[in-house]
């Protein structure tokens, strides 16, 4: 087990209680908190003021590379060993569009998944406190902080309506 | 109760996790019997395939000029089955259709396994199965590349992309659910699910990228699913064979694919929801919506059949007219009528709410849909090839045990994977169902 980052972990049953705690903690300067939930939730996203994920750039770049690769591969291979088929030109665009389309989708999808993985695990969560209830029905908020801030952060969580507050040992 | 009132699950988040996790593991006698049957069928196919490898393609009932027969028919059948899954998981996701959540995981798994099954058939069909990699453009000693102007090559890329993307889509959707399972089991199972969940914790950062990425995957899968069966249809439509050479083929095949796929969803889900005790999650509401989809696509098929006959007559081309006359009144009239009755007419029964909401009726009709759609491809492929432009060269297919053995084996192969998936991974999407259930609030009143 990786060494835990010091901090406070609060569990919430109510979504509005969790967003209250997030907003208060953020105004106190704790902007690097991690919120766990079993499903994406718009209220939590709004409370955290999340920006749109840059994963779309991966999709775009992947799609463009796939499209270019599709045309480049088919045209180059046709010209590398020119064979007359069906009286069509060697570098026939209409039939190759089908292949370029398929590769656009293939590369776009693979780049999207790569983007999701890279971006999600750039900020690893394995050293943060976690509770198994967060994949079930509770919302978790982890605030990384030094031990002298523990009591202040715990107080904010309890005030907001946390059902359980713990801190890293 | 109105449809609107039923579209939200009534359980709490904890109940959803509990009920879905309970479907994993052993399922008693009903499940074992189904799995045993699937493995037995698969073994029949395996033995037939070994004999084909040993003795060659002469074993199957090919008879000139019908050199595409049961194997290619079954290939198109299985590719078609795959289409309903991606339609439900990707297209209905983009449309924010509330009823897809309960059924989409099962249909997506069905897609992956159906395309896996379909992918075997071109390999079986080519005769020298060990040379299947010649289909791919790779540098070889003759410096010769593949023919990219052939629709068969388009198909290699379309099916390859479809299998890769639909598998990716399924796996990506599974990760948060596997994490939920990981947190609810113990012992060696926990270890395995921990590895499969790749460190998913459901943190805000993970959800942020996940939700966006999933949206783009759905947006990419949507045109893909429409393209794949279009490309399959061009395998036929690009040729000059009467009965194949039609511009209507792409939309006609896509509608047929979705129709057959939804039929297979009924065949799989109706027994499965009983065996896995998921009747309260996959309800009559979901099945009725699927039935409406069947009605819609079945009606498109009805129209396509009618238009095919009209165009054959209106074209004034004797070869086309003869092919379509022989479909209804030729030596294979039984296949032609099976296709029309099971697809065009059976689908019209779904106009009645009583039928749409009767689970037994849905199951029985789904069997007709499966049979009808297999015969549609059989009629198009075998019927058209047998009666080409030159009556002197006409011939009939004589399907034999080697054809039926591989067909039976494909059902076994498909069902085996599907059933194993159902006991290993959540067959209902935990995370997406939870997203639909409002979280409890401390204060009364809605979101802002």
Please indicate whether, in this complex, the C-beta atoms of B13 and A136 are within 8 angstroms of each other. Answer: yes
Can you give the CATH number for the domain in which B18 is found?
A: 1.20.1630.10
Where is pLDDT greater, at B4 or A168? A168
Is A83 inside a domain boundary? yes
Please indicate whether, in this complex, the C-beta atoms of A14 and B223 are within 8 angstroms of each other. Answer: no
Q: Do A103 and A135 sit in the same domain of this protein?
A: no
Q: What is the mean pLDDT of residues B37-58?
A: 95
Which chain B positions have a beta carbon within 8 Å of A92's beta carbon?
149
Give yes or no for A143 touching B (CB within 8 A): no
CA distance B427 to B109: 8
Give yes or no for A114 touching B (CB within 8 A): no
Q: What is the mean pLDDT of residues B46-55?
A: 94
pLDDT at B3: 41
Q: Do A146 and A160 sit in the same domain of this protein?
A: yes
3-state secondary structure (DSSP) of residue A143: strand
Q: Do A88 and A42 sit in the same domain of this protein?
A: no
Per-window interface: B 240-259 vs A, CB < 8 A: none
Give yes or no for B14 touching A (CB within 8 A): yes
Q: Do A138 and A109 sit in the same domain of this protein?
A: no
Give yes or no for B400 touching A (CB within 8 A): no
Cα-flanking dihedrals φ and ψ of residue B28, to 5°? Answer: 85, -165
pLDDT at B141: 84
Please indicate whether, in this complex, the C-beta atoms of B154 and A99 are within 8 angstroms of each other. Answer: yes
B375 token code pair? 């015969």
pLDDT at B237: 94
Can you give the CATH number for the domain in which A157 is found?
A: 3.30.70
Q: Do A30 and A64 sit in the same domain of this protein?
A: no
Rounded to the nearest angstrom, the minimum Cα separation between A133 and chain B is 8
pLDDT tens column, B203-234: 999 999 999 999 999 999 999 999 999 999 99
Query: How many structural domains comprise chain B?
Result: 1
Is A1 inside a domain boundary? no
Residue contacts between A and B (CB atoms, under 8 Å) = 196
Give yes or no for A2 touching B (CB within 8 A): no
The ipTM value here is 0.93
pLDDT at B1: 38
Q: For residue A59, with 0-12 CB atoms within 10 Å meaning exposed, 13-18 middle and 19 or more buried, which class applies?
A: buried
> Considering only CA atoms, which of B293, B301, B309 is closest in space to residue B251?
B301
Is B432 inside a domain boundary? yes
User: Do the beta carbons of residue B169 and residue B108 sit within 8 Å?
Assistant: yes
Residue B292: C-alpha distances to residues A35, B19, B287, B362 (Å): 40, 28, 9, 11
User: What share of chain B has pLDDT > 90, as a percent?
Assistant: 65
- Is the C-alpha dihedral spanning B266, B269, B272, B274 positive or negative? negative
pLDDT at B6: 61
Q: Do A154 and A71 sit in the same domain of this protein?
A: no
pLDDT at B2: 39
pLDDT at B209: 93
Give yes or no for B440 touching A (CB within 8 A): yes
Reported residue count of chain A is 169
B186 token code pair? 């113990």
Q: A155 lies in which domain range? A: 7-50+125-167
Please indicate whether, in this complex, the C-beta atoms of B161 and A102 are within 8 angstroms of each other. Answer: yes
Q: What is the mean pLDDT of residues A154-161?
A: 90
CA distance B76 to B115: 10
Q: A34 pairs with which residues across the strands?
A: A142
Mutual angle of helices B100-125 and B151-182, in 10-degree steps: 140
Centre a 10 Å sphere on the Cβ of residue A155 and count the other Cβ atoms it contains: 12
CA distance B321 to B15: 60
Mutual angle of helices B70-86 and B401-424, in 10-degree steps: 20
Q: B205 lies in which domain range? A: 7-436
CA distance B380 to B248: 13
pLDDT at B75: 95
Is B441 inside a domain boundary? no
pLDDT at B4: 42
Query: How many structural domains comprise chain A?
Result: 2
pLDDT tens column, B327-369: 999 999 999 999 999 999 999 999 999 999 999 999 999 999 9
């Amino acid at each position: 087990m990786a060494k835990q980052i010091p901090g406070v972990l609060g569990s919430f049953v109510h979504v509005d209680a969790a967003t209250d705690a997030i907003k208060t903690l953020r105004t106190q300067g704790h902007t690097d908190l991690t919120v766990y939930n079993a499903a994406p939730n718009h209220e939590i996203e709004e409370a955290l003021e999340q920006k749109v994920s840059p994963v779309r750039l991966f999709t775009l770049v992947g799609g463009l590379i796939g499209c270019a690769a599709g045309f480049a591969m088919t045209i180059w291979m046709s010209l590398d060993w020119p064979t007359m088929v069906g009286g069509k030109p060697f570098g026939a665009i209409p039939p190759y569009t089908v292949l370029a389309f398929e590769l656009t989708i293939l590369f776009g999808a693979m780049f999207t998944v790569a983007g999701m993985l890279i971006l999600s695990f750039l900020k690893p969560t394995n050293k943060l406190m976690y509770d198994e209830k967060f994949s079930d029905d509770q919302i978790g908020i982890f605030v990384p902080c030094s031990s002298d801030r523990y009591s202040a952060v715990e107080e904010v969580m309890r005030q907001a309506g946390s059902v359980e507050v713990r801190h890293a040992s | 109760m109105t449809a609107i009132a039923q579209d939200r699950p009534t359980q709490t988040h904890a109940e959803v996790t509990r009920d879905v996790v309970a479907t994993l593991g052993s399922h008693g006698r009903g499940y074992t019997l189904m799995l045993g049957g699937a493995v037995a069928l698969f073994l029949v196919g395996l033995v037939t395939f070994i004999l084909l490898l040993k003795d060659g393609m002469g074993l199957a009932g090919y008879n000139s000029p019908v050199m595409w027969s049961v194997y290619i028919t079954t290939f198109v059948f299985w590719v078609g089955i795959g289409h309903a899954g991606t339609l439900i998981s990707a297209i209905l996701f983009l449309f924010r259709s509330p009823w897809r959540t309960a059924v989409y995981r099962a249909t997506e798994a069905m897609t992956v396994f159906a395309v896996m099954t379909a992918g075997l058939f071109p390999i079986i069909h080519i005769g020298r199965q060990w040379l299947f990699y010649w289909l791919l453009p790779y540098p070889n000693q003759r410096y010769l590349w593949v023919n990219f102007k052939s629709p068969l090559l388009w198909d290699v890329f379309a099916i390859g992309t479809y299998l890769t993307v639909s598998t990716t889509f399924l796996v990506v959707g599974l990760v948060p659910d596997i994490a939920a399972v990981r947190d609810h089991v113990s012992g060696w199972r926990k270890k395995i699910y921990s590895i499969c969940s790749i460190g998913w914790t459901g943190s805000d950062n993970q959800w942020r990228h996940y939700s966006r990425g999933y949206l783009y995957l759905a947006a990419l899968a949507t045109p893909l699913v429409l393209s794949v069966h279009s490309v399959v249809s061009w395998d036929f439509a690009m040729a000059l064979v009467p009965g194949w050479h039609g511009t209507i083929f792409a939309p006609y095949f896509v509608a047929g694919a979705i129709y057959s796929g939804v039929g297979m969803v009924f065949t799989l889900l109706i027994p499965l929801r009983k065996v896995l005790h998921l009747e309260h999650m996959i309800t009559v509401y979901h099945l009725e919506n699927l039935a409406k989809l069947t009605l819609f696509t079945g009606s498109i098929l009805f129209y396509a059949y009618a238009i095919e006959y009209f165009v054959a007559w209106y074209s004034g081309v004797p070869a086309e007219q003869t092919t379509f006359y022989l479909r209804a009144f030729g030596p294979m009239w039984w296949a032609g009528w099976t296709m029309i009755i099971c697809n065009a007419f059976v689908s019209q029964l779904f106009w009645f709410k009583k039928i749409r909401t009767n689970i037994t009726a849905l199951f029985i009709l789904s069997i007709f849909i499966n049979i009808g759609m297999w015969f549609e491809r059989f009629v198009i492929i075998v019927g058209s090839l047998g009666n080409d432009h030159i009556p002197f060269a006409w011939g009939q297919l004589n399907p034999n045990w080697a054809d039926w053995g591989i067909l039976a084996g494909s059902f076994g192969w498909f069902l085996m994977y599907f059933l194993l998936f159902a006991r290993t991974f959540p067959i209902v999407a935990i995370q997406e169902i939870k997203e639909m259930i409002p979280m409890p609030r401390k204060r009364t009143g809605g979101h802002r």
